């Protein structure tokens, strides 16, 4: 029996509703395979913050690092909390303090899912974005001068370390090799303008590429890449980029793969701990109505299985997701033709009846 400890952060708004369905799917998986999941709800999010000011309790980071295999997060964002407090205080804090330096975002159009790109299908939209997740503009380095005066200056610095850039690029090449599809890593940067940051990324990319003679390489400026993701998404296999560009291009990725009802991602410290989440926000206006599509959260649960190297379980859960998609009227909230928990039941039933 393989045992895994999973910390749950269902979070705010509709987060708890969708995480419950992901847990349902994982429990169905554990009955079919020799796997046991121990879930522990950390009870963090906007409500806890409003109650007693806690974002991440003291000692929690060490406990997560030492005692858990993965973190499963629903959504962070509360209408009564000023934007930025929960995002920086919980999500980014976990990314930074646990050194989750890879943000892995598959952009895969599953059969039967609507993409807004005309004449493109699952054979065209099948790539992965690897976003650096602990550096760049997200570090919060900078400051104000003469704040609030007509002479105000705001400085937001982008921090790029040789070690940080190299480990991210190396992960992209390893991932590409393992993925074994087009065997192409594309670097996304802005070498024509960012003469320090992109220069470092480009040099490290060329250097690391030499060690992977079986993998092809390409370079695109971020603005051009945004166009190509829409015009010719079929050219991509693995795209590697910095934190800020990665944030932006993965929203394009989410919409071309069918939107927030299906998009999921992982924050990973390879070989140590990782945190998986649906890409969508807390959607306060839908809270408690059973209208939100849990498939994105279930895709995040599927990524947990992949991360734990539970390949058979991961592939059965993916089959269950694909089968459920066929039955839904739409992936959009309120238009699925079923409630959140009915969709979760479909996934769990498929697992029970197959595999």
Residues binding Mg ion (CB under 5 A):
247
Shortest distance, CB of residue 134 to ligand IPM, whole angstroms? 11
H helical segments located in 273-354: 295-307, 311-327, 340-353
Instruction: Compare residues 133 and 293 and give the one whose CB is closer to Mg ion.
Output: 133
- Among 234, 247, 319, 323, indicate the residue that binds ligand IPM (CB under 6 A): 247
Instruction: Compare residues 247 and 345 and give the one whose CB is closer to Mg ion.
Output: 247
Residue 117 touches which member of Mg ion, ligand IPM, none, C-beta under 5-8 Å by kind: none
- Under the binding rule (CB under 6 A), the answer on residue 99 touching ligand IPM is no
Q: For residue 228, how many other CB atoms are within 10 A of its CB?
A: 15
Name the CA dihedral angle for 298, 75, 10, 277, rounded to a multiple of 10 degrees.
40
- Among 87, 206, 207, 223, indicate the residue that binds ligand IPM (CB under 6 A): 87
Residue, CB closest to ligand IPM: 87
Decide: 19 and 297 in contact? Cβ < 8 Å.
yes
Q: Which element (helix H / strand E) includes 141?
A: strand 136-145
DSSP-derived 3-state class of residue 8: strand
Q: For residue 86, how many other CB atoms are within 10 A of its CB?
A: 25
Instruction: Compare residues 47 and 87 and give the one whose CB is closer to Mg ion.
Output: 87
Instruction: Compare residues 246 and 294 and give the one whose CB is closer to ligand IPM.
Output: 246
Shortest distance, CB of residue 30 to ligand IPM, whole angstroms? 28
DSSP-derived 3-state class of residue 86: helix
DSSP-derived 3-state class of residue 179: helix
Residue 87 touches which member of Mg ion, ligand IPM, none, C-beta under 5-8 Å by kind: ligand IPM
Nearest C-alpha neighbor of 11 from the set 236, 246, 341, 281: 281
Burial of 243 (0-12, 13-18, 19+ CB in 10 A): buried
Residue, CB closest to Mg ion: 247
**β-pair type (216-221, 153-159):** unpaired
Shortest distance, CB of residue 8 to ligand IPM, whole angstroms? 18
Q: How far apart, in whole angstroms, are the C-alpha atoms of residue 174 and residue 239?
A: 12
- Under the binding rule (CB under 6 A), the answer on residue 264 touching ligand IPM is no
Shortest distance, CB of residue 164 to ligand IPM, whole angstroms? 16
- Under the binding rule (CB under 6 A), the answer on residue 234 touching ligand IPM is no
Instruction: Compare residues 76 and 320 and give the one whose CB is closer to ligand IPM.
Output: 76
Instruction: Tell me the number of residues near ligand IPM by CB under 6 A.
Output: 3
Instruction: Compare residues 37 and 138 and give the one whose CB is closer to ligand IPM.
Output: 138
Going by the DSSP 8-state scheme, the letter that residue 161 receives in this structure is: -
Instruction: Compare residues 244 and 351 and give the one whose CB is closer to ligand IPM.
Output: 244
Q: Which element (helix H / strand E) includes 75?
A: strand 70-75
Residue 166 touches which member of ligand IPM, Mg ion, none, C-beta under 5-8 Å by kind: none
Instruction: Compare residues 41 and 247 and give the one whose CB is closer to ligand IPM.
Output: 247
- Under the binding rule (CB under 6 A), the answer on residue 140 touching ligand IPM is no
- Among 64, 71, 91, 94, indicate the residue that binds ligand IPM (CB under 6 A): 91
Count Cβ neighbours within 10 Å for each residue of 46-71 and write b for 16 or more, e otherwise: bebbeeeebbbeeebeeebeeebbbb
Residue 332 touches which member of Mg ion, ligand IPM, none, C-beta under 5-8 Å by kind: none
Q: How far apart, in whole angstroms, are the C-alpha atoms of residue 100 and residue 171?
A: 12
Residues near ligand IPM (CB under 6 A) are 87, 91, 247
């Amino acid at each position: 029996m393989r045992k895994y400890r999973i910390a749950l952060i269902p979070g705010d708004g509709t987060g708890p509703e969708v995480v419950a369905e992901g847990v349902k799917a994982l429990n169905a998986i554990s009955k079919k395979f020799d796997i046991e999941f121990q879930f522990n709800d950390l009870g963090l999010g906007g409500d806890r913050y409003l109650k007693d000011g806690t974002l991440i309790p003291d000692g929690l980071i060490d406990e997560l690092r030492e005692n858990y295999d993965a973190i499963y997060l629903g959504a962070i964002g509360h209408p009564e909390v000023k934007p930025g407090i929960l995002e920086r205080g919980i999500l980014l804090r976990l990314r930074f303090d646990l050194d989750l330096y890879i943000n892995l975002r598959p952009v895969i159009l599953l059969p039967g899912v609507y993409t807004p790109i005309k004449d493109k299908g699952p054979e065209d939209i099948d790539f992965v974005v690897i976003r650096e997740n602990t550096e760049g503009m997200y570090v919060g380095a900078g400051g104000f001068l003469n704040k609030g005066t007509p002479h105000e200056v705001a400085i937001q610095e982008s921090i790029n370390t040789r070690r940080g850039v190299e480990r991210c690029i190396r992960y992209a090449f390893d991932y590409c090799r393992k993925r074994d599809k087009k065997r192409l890593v594309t670097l996304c940067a802005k070498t024509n303008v960012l003469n320090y940051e992109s220069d470092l990324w480009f040099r490290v990319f060329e250097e690391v590429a030499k060690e992977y003679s079986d993998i092809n390489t390409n370079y695109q400026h971020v603005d051009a890449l945004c166009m190509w993701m829409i015009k010719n998404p079929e050219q991509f296999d693995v795209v590697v980029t910095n934190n800020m560009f990665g944030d932006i291009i993965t929203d394009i990725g989410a919409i071309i793969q069918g939107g927030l009802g299906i998009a999921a991602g992982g924050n990973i410290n390879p070989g140590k701990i990782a945190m998986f989440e649906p890409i969508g926000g807390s959607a306060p206006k839908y809270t408690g109505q059973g209208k939100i599509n849990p498939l994105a959260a279930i895709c995040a649960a599927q990524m947990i299985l992949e991360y734990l190297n539970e390949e058979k379980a991961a592939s059965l859960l993916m089959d269950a997701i694909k089968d459920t998609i066929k039955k839904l009227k739409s992936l959009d909230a309120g238009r699925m033709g079923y409630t959140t928990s009915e969709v979760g039941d479909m996934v769990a039933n498929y697992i029970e009846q197959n595999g």
